A and B are shown apart, each in its own frame.
Chain A
């Protein structure tokens, strides 16, 4: 019941109805996937969410998609979120995503100040850009055994292939989308690579971004 926010509990006290809603929504929206990206302002989470829904749309399986940032002012460097819904049915939900099915942590260092992982659905999927092994990460952050966990060290990939903005700022979003495709097989890597190449076709970085995504896809550790 911890997910019910204060506003809601104030006006709505019949909790049995809430359970009915949760059960019903599982059946009615069986082909709805809600995704949350967490990172720092400027790390490309919003672009990642947009590229993701475009790839999902392009697969043909998900004709109804939406991507949106946390509404309001954004600050470079501060922990921020971006969200996506992909669905086989028309999307009517216009609210924030409180309990995502899949969570992407663009930068593990935010976990020192905020911990969004607790909002992930039981049985959900977690993808983190972090060094080290997947088992150590699960132990360190107490990730629930029901959660499928993927770890990829994007900073190392960026250093290896020189995927940087201005030579010194690592690009996180395109590699993490490559890794995403390994965890979420409904979006094949080649569909994602096409979207990435199209996005960066203007600035000559298409091939390098696609390479980063491919390496991340291949080097992802899953448990």
Chain B
């Protein structure tokens, strides 16, 4: 897929536009995806997603079954069970709620269930914080789930619909997190153009999964028995299952792009597939970020260019699977990369920065990469930080320095 240079998140075909919070945009998408089962436990800033869904169910606009549970661990457990029986499932959570699901997340991915979960990103305690950063989602990157990050409320609505289509693809069958910034998007209203129910139904036919136990009431099957280290009598071993999971998630990049094309021809909106460029056509410097960090970087571009710095922004939309080849392609003409992480892979550096370097390593074209940690726990990540970080990174590149210690912006040291 060609690198898309401007995001096209704007109302186009005179459809119905509502002014919605990011949370409610997600609720509308779940409603229109004709979700069968919703199970969730309240946590700020996610709660309004599920509150709105319960209003839809109460008013009859949605015929889903809401399962009320006592914890996030149980929420994910009931989502898994419902999905295995053949239901299209939705849930949402944040921060420590997501962390509490961790064990069940691995079950969901290992069972290859096409679940969709909104992660309204929020800092992980301790200390306690209800405000945004990407630490919660990033901390679950190795569970086998796919992860997409959104930049505005239209993208949230569209991505939830796309997420079902990707997760339920015959060649994928994997769960997916749709991540968006707590408060910055979750509690901020923006215009969101809704598709008609007919359009959604065309795009997203009825639930597709490899496991639909409700169709096999008379032939009981065991799901997830103990799996031995080595294959035996035609049964794969644990490693064979895990090999297939990895091979499948690698394929998801192409599938995601195909589905984005389908969605674009239906809706007239195109979010760029797995990565998205902004002013990258002639850029010498690429600023890389996800979600709100990437938006704020775009705000800085006119200021940087006015000062003679030819910078563009590369937004990573799909974080898992990490689109290595697409990123290399997008960065093939830049001399330098500046990464802003709203997360820390503690003991190393920012997660995006580390993974970006691994995508570029052992390749012919290796631009200088400098990462910065910004905006943790709801600290404003400002345009000035983008400009300052970019200039700092340019100085390092000039002197050919690659500092081992992490660089933080906007923190009292």
Chain A residues with CB under 8 Å of chain B are 6-8, 10-12, 17-18, 20-21, 24-25, 28, 50, 53-54, 57, 63-69, 71-73, 90, 92-96
Chain B residues with Cβ below 8 Å from A10 are 410-413
* Contacting pair B380 A95 (CB below 8 A): yes
Cross-chain contact of A11 among B130, B378, B409 (Cβ < 8 A): B409
Cross-chain contact of A21 among B183, B189, B303, B409 (Cβ < 8 A): B303
Interface residues of B in 127-150 (CB under 8 A from A): 130-131
Chain B residues with Cβ below 8 Å from A57 are 17, 19, 191
Cross-chain contact of A28 among B302, B387, B412 (Cβ < 8 A): B302
- Complex CA–CA separation, A105 to B368 (angstroms): 49
Cross-chain contact of A67 among B188, B298, B303, B306 (Cβ < 8 A): B188
* Contacting pair B296 A94 (CB below 8 A): yes
Chain B residues with CB under 8 Å of chain A are 7, 9-11, 17, 19, 130-131, 181, 183-184, 187-191, 292, 295-296, 298-299, 302-303, 306-307, 378-385, 387-388, 409-413
Chain B residues with Cβ below 8 Å from A17 are 307, 387
Cross-chain contact of A25 among B183, B303, B385, B413 (Cβ < 8 A): B303
* Contacting pair B191 A63 (CB below 8 A): yes
Chain A residues with Cβ below 8 Å from B7 are 90
Considering the complex of A and B, which 6 residue pairs feature the smallest CB-CB distances, nearest first? A71-B183, A68-B188, A92-B299, A92-B298, A94-B292, A95-B380
* Contacting pair B383 A8 (CB below 8 A): no
Q: Most chain-A Cβ atoms within 10 A of its Cβ — which of B130, B190, B413?
A: B190
Chain A residues with Cβ below 8 Å from B189 are 50, 53, 65-68
Chain B residues with Cβ below 8 Å from A24 are 302-303, 306
Cross-chain contact of B187 among A28, A63, A71, A95 (Cβ < 8 A): A71
Chain B residues with Cβ below 8 Å from A73 are 130
Cross-chain contact of B381 among A53, A64, A72, A95 (Cβ < 8 A): A95
* Contacting pair B187 A7 (CB below 8 A): no
Chain A residues with Cβ below 8 Å from B303 are 20-21, 24-25, 28
- Complex CA–CA separation, A94 to B152 (angstroms): 10
Q: Most chain-B Cβ atoms within 10 A of its Cβ — which of A24, A25, A28, A92?
A: A92
- Complex CA–CA separation, A185 to B27 (angstroms): 35
Closest to A11 in B: B409
Cross-chain contact of B295 among A8, A65, A68, A92 (Cβ < 8 A): A92
In the assembled complex, how far is the CB of residue B397 from the closest CB belonging to chain A, in whole angstroms?
Answer: 19
**A24-B303, A63-B191, A66-B190 known; A54 vs B378 contact (CB < 8 Å):** no
**29 A-B pairs whose Cβ atoms sit less than 8 Å apart in the complex:** A7-B380, A8-B382, A8-B384, A10-B410, A11-B385, A11-B388, A12-B384, A12-B385, A18-B384, A21-B383, A21-B384, A28-B303, A57-B17, A57-B191, A63-B10, A64-B10, A65-B19, A65-B190, A65-B191, A66-B189, A66-B190, A68-B184, A68-B189, A71-B184, A71-B378, A72-B131, A92-B296, A93-B383, A95-B296
Closest to A73 in B: B130
- Complex CA–CA separation, A50 to B19 (angstroms): 8
- Complex CA–CA separation, A73 to B183 (angstroms): 11
* Contacting pair B131 A71 (CB below 8 A): yes
- Complex CA–CA separation, A72 to B128 (angstroms): 12
- Complex CA–CA separation, A93 to B11 (angstroms): 19
- Complex CA–CA separation, A93 to B292 (angstroms): 9
Chain B residues with Cβ below 8 Å from A93 are 295-296, 299, 383
In the assembled complex, how far is the CB of residue A71 from the closest CB belonging to chain B, in whole angstroms?
Answer: 4
Chain B residues with Cβ below 8 Å from A6 are 412
Closest to B382 in A: A95
Closest to A13 in B: B388
* Contacting pair A53 B19 (CB below 8 A): yes
In the assembled complex, how far is the CB of residue B12 from the closest CB belonging to chain A, in whole angstroms?
Answer: 11
- Complex CA–CA separation, A67 to B378 (angstroms): 17
Chain B residues with Cβ below 8 Å from A63 are 10-11, 191
